[in-house]
Structure 1
Amino acid sequence: MLNIGCLVVNEDYDRLKSSIKDNKLPHFTYTLTVSGAPEGGEPTTLKLYVLELVSSNLSIGFTLPPDKEIEKELEVIFTTQPTADRQMPEDLKLICEFSDEKKDTQYAGENLEKLEYIGYSLEKFYETKKATFYLFDYEGITKI
């Protein structure tokens, strides 16, 4: 089972802590594929995996390195920054089944531009749903 870590703000952490029971929480997942070519370049494809936690008003999107895949189950470990009240926050584990749901979109640009575009678009979309969106680049696109 693949596991990923997510650093969230204290308010989201507190909501998750009160909602997660037995490492479970109602969720919806999908894979978003962004394809297209930069001007005069070769076409590229970016895969963004999205996990919606509606009851916690939280969604996360993340990329994975090409050699990593989500089989069926995914373990997400949430943590937050220490505070005066909470010196060392405990890890909150969520085990979810990742669906085969797929969505596609087009954007002409390099993968970094695609990531910025889709991250901004999803952030604005989830704002309309009163949810916080986090974007994690585990593929390392932002290091290019």
Structure 2
Amino acid sequence: MLNIGCLVVNEDYDRLRLSIVENKLPHFTYTLTVSGAPEGGTSSTLKLYIIELVSSNLSIGFTLPPDKEIDKDLEIVFTTQPTADVKMPEDLKLICEFSDEKKETEYAGENLEKLEYIGYSLEKFYETKKASFYLFDYEGITKL
């Protein structure tokens, strides 16, 4: 089972802590594929995995390195920054079944531009739903 770590702000962490029961929480998942080529360039594809945790008003999106795959189950470990009250917050584990749901869109640009575009679009979308959105680049696109 693949596991990923997510650093979230204290308010979101507290909501998750109160919502997660026995490593479970209602969720909706899908894979978003962004394809397209920059002007005069070669076409590329970016896969972004999305998890919506509606009861916690939180969604996360993340990329994975090409050699990593999500089987059916995914473990997400949430943590937050220490505070004056809580020196070392406990890890909150969530196990979710990742669906085969797929969505596609196009954007003409390199993968970094695609990631910025789709990340901004999703952030604005979830903002209208009063939900926090976190984007994690585990593929390392932002380092290229």
Report the TM-score range of the alignment, normalised by the length of the smaller protein: over 0.9
Is 1:76 the counterpart of 2:54? The answer is: no
Q: Tell me how far apart the structure 1 counterparts of residues 115 and 101 of structure 2 sit (CA, whole Å).
A: 20
Q: Give 2:46's aligned amino acid.
A: L
**Cα distance, 1:130 vs structure 2:** 0.3
**Cα distance, 1:20 vs structure 2:** 0.1
Q: Runs of 5+ in structure 2 lacking a partner?
A: none
Residues 38-67 of structure 1 deviation map (CA, whole Å, 9 limit, x = unaligned): 110110000000000000000000000000
**Cα distance, 1:129 vs structure 2:** 0.4
The percentage of aligned residue pairs carrying the same residue is 87
Q: TM-score, with normalisation over the residues of structure 1? A: 1.00
**Cα distance, 1:17 vs structure 2:** 0.1
Is 1:139 the counterpart of 2:130? The answer is: no
Q: Tell me how far apart the structure 2 counterparts of residues 100 and 94 of structure 1 sit (CA, whole Å).
A: 19
Aligned to 2:110: 110
**SS of residue paired to 2:119:** helix
Aligned to 1:122: 122
Q: Runs of 5+ in structure 1 lacking a partner?
A: none
Q: Tell me how far apart the structure 2 counterparts of residues 92 and 104 of structure 1 sit (CA, whole Å).
A: 31
Aligned to 2:12: 12
Q: Tell me how far apart the structure 2 counterparts of residues 70 and 38 of structure 1 sit (CA, whole Å).
A: 28
Equivalent residues in 2 for 1:38-49, closer than 5 Å: 38-49=38-49
Q: Tell me how far apart the structure 1 counterparts of residues 116 and 75 of structure 2 sit (CA, whole Å).
A: 25
Q: Tell me how far apart the structure 1 counterparts of residues 14 and 87 of structure 2 sit (CA, whole Å).
A: 14
**Cα distance, 1:91 vs structure 2:** 0.2
Q: CA RMSD in A?
A: 0.2
Equivalent residues in 2 for 1:48-59, closer than 5 Å: 48-59=48-59
**Cα distance, 1:21 vs structure 2:** 0.2
Displaced runs of 4 or more, over 4 A: none
